[in-house]
Each structure stands twice: as structure tokens, then as C-alpha cells.
Amino acid sequence: MSTTQTIRAHAEVWPELPLHQELVLQDTRGNRIVGTLDGMTEDRSTLWIQLSGGLGRQLVHHQDGYWLEPGSAS
């Protein structure tokens, strides 16, 4: 996938996901966010993840450069 395609794919809003769904997000540097979906804005542009290991919550916008790892939201 080219850089242009990657950026375009990451600019899309998050898919519809049920609350408390286990998720793994990753960015181009290999950073991972692991936890469960704690909330999502109505327009699906932003989500809250309750981080695994009791590390609190993290807000992630769809343009922050993260994508769902395949199979993490199934």
C-alpha cells in the first residue's frame, strides 16, 4: 500500500463497534493501543479506549494515525 493510500485509509471514520469490544490499534511506527471500547462519538470520528492493565482511558481521533489491527474487532 502506498503512503497516499495509507493516509486515505486512516482518514476514514471508525467502523461501528459495540461498547466493551476488545480492540488493538496500531500506527506506522508500531505503537499499539490495547483495550476495550469505552465510548464513541455519534459521528464515529473519536473513540475512548479503556486501556488494558488498568492504565486508564485514552481518547483516539480517526486522524491520529492509528488503525484497527485485523481481527481485533471481531
DSSP string, 14-34: PPP--TT-EEEEE-TT--EEE
60-71 pLDDT tens trace: 999 999 999 877
Strand, helix or coil for residue 8:
helix
- pLDDT the model gives residue 9: 45
Residue 11 per-residue DSSP state: H
What residue type is assigned to position 69 of the chain?
E
Read off the pLDDT band of 6 (50, 70, 90): very low
Mean pLDDT of 21-38: 95
| Res 74: pLDDT | 63
